[in-house]
Amino acid sequence: MINNTDKRNNKKDLLPYLFILLIIVGVFYFVNVLNKKVNVLTYDEFMDKLKDNKVTELQVTTKSSAYTYEVKGVLQGYKDGEKFFVKLPLSENVMKKLIEASDAYEFKLVVKEDPGSSAFIIIIANVLPLLILVVLAFLLFSRQMAGNKSSMDFGKSRAKLNADTNKVTFDNVAGLKEEKEELKELIDFLKNPKKFQKLGARIPKGVLLFGPPGTGKTLLAKAVAGEADVPFYFISGSDFVELFVGVGASRVRDMFQQAKRNAPCLIFIDEIDAVGRQRGTGLGGGHDEREQTLNQLLTEMDGFGANEGIIIIAATNRPDVLDPALLRPGRFDRQVTVNLPDVKGREEILGVHARNKKLADGITLANLAKRTPGFSGADLENLLNEAALLAVRRNKEVITMSEIDEATDRVLMGPAKVSHKYSENDRKLVAYHEAGHAVIGLKLKNASDVQKVTIIPRGSAGGYNMMVPTEEKMCSTKTDLLEEITGLLGGRTAEEITFGEITTGAHNDFEKATKIARSMVTEYGMSNLGPLQFEQQEGSVFLGRDYNKSQHFSNEVANEIDMEMRRIINECHKNATEIIKKNKDLLKLIAETLLEYETLTKEQIDYLVENGKMPEEDDNYEAMSLTKLRSIAKDKNIKNASKMNKSEIIKELNK
């Protein structure tokens, strides 16, 4: 649908071009008129030409007001466009002579009435063109003034007042119980400030929400405004920063002036790190505009002026880059960490997003929450939305576990590369690699549960193994980390034992394992070097940190760190080798089943380990083996089914 405002703007944009077109047409008209030669004759000259039969055309206009005839005409020998003009006395005798000459010499004679005798025609002919020019000039000048007005508003605040009738409340925010408790005081203050003032309590002027992306920081700020039922201004940190120094500071001043007029109210600044970075840092020195804007924000929050009834809520994913002056008491007094939800929080979030979705019988939100550790609120919403889209694409009435599994894979790894072709040798390598991860996960006591194994390529991976912790922990033990490294090395170990050859498929596993091992030695104190921290998390060069990183240990200790890392990796590799050799039959069973089915779920893996075979196949194509699917495809005369993978055959069967 096209907006009416856009239509009006488009019409205004055409006015200058229309005005220019009129000018061009007028110029051409006058040039054309000037190019026509007009000869002025006297009465006697005209009468002589008339008697000598030199006239070929006459046009007579009666001018009653002037008591004359205005005569225009063409004489013999005139060029194209050339005419003569003469005034004759207004009398019957003159008109009689003209008519007799026309009858005698047979030239064209046209007689017209005087148009000037009509007042309406006089207005149209004389006033209307001038009126059109005045209107066009007014429109052009008003357009210019509107542009100047917008330039005068350059320093005005870009903060918008949220006038949504569909208010967000705490009922729309799930999984953030402690965070909501922290913010309830703000709501009580905005509703009843006298209750706090009686006891001399000062409500926090600013609340900083920080945490990973997608955890609900913006939603939480909207819910506070909705619960308090007060004006809610929202703006992004980047809206303050402009090319010219001082513009951002002017916008900050204007924003607080608007907020004072509507106090009590809330101001929400999203991505405050865009304007609140530490001053005087970085390789290129300071940033004058951003620093001026930050200085003004600091002054407005806790300076000489009082901003009673105004509470600022800011959100960022990077609290480490903020200026310390922003975080001191009196400015952002309260800092609330919005972490990734735990299993209970994920269940509540899924409940909110599943309200308008039809889930198949047997699907419980509690089980879905256990299968999605590390997912943010935004990830969970995307997960259910992707599952719903897949169900619609497959013409299903409800969302089944098959769609949820596929949606989980899409969120984590991206869509499956169904059209990707690789050789049977590659498929076998990937199958044994992923089976090696699965065997380690099944046999280690403290290892994570194997939820899914697949050899269908996604993203940059030829296959992957989804492993979920048996229970979520705040801290990891040394045993947990060692078993995690062992699990990561399971794929390479399976390749070595089965094929006597190694591939490049384990490069990502090595990256993760090396990182864990180095952290154990240099950060966690989990090595023979003792409880010492040799390194810290690296900072950002552009904040002026770690450009010339000081080394807190000698070269001898650096060598010992390398030796300890190598020892940890070698011990884990040795442990993985022992487990794989003891369970070669299980490795082969899982790998051969993967080659047949391409994807195995937790339930199928558990049944396979216990019974040595897959459960009975039902009518669900997803649960069938590749061999059976190819047989069905052959019976239905699907060409090249023997060369298709499982996903391609299912797609053809569903047509």
Cα separation of the two ends of the chain: 35
User: Coil, strand or helix: which one is 80?
Assistant: coil
Residue 172 DSSP one-character state = G
* 91 touches 60 (CB < 8 A): no
- Helix or strand holding residue 71 (H, E): strand 68-75
The catalytic residue among 434, 484, 564, 622 is: 434
Of 391, 380, 387, 379, nearest to 352 by C-alpha is 380
Bridge-based pairing state of the strands 83-89 and 108-112 = unpaired
Length of the chain: 655
Q: Give the helix, strand, coil percentages of the chain, each rounded to 5.
A: 55, 15, 35
- Cis geometry, peptide bond prior to residue 324 (ω within 30 degrees of 0): no
Which value, to the nearest 10 degrees, does the dihedral of the CA atoms of residues 169, 173, 178, 181 take?
Answer: 0
How many beta carbons lie within 10 A of that of residue 519, not counting itself? 15
Indicate if 434 belongs to the active site.
yes
DSSP string across 287-338:
-HHHHHHHHHHHHHHHSSS--TTEEEEEEES-GGGB-GGGGSTTSS-EEEE-
Distance (Å, whole) CA 622 – CA 284: 57
User: Coil, strand or helix: which one is 208?
Assistant: strand
Q: What is the crossing angle of helices 247-261 and 288-302, to 10°?
A: 20
- What would you report as the CA-atom Rg of the chain, rounded to the nearest whole angstrom? 43
Chain Cα centroid distance, residue 16 = 36
Bridge-based pairing state of the strands 83-89 and 68-75 = antiparallel
DSSP string across 557-607:
HHHHHHHHHHHHHHHHHHHHHHHHHHTHHHHHHHHHHHHHHSEEEHHHHHH
Distance (Å, whole) CA 647 – CA 435: 20
Catalytic annotation, residues:
434
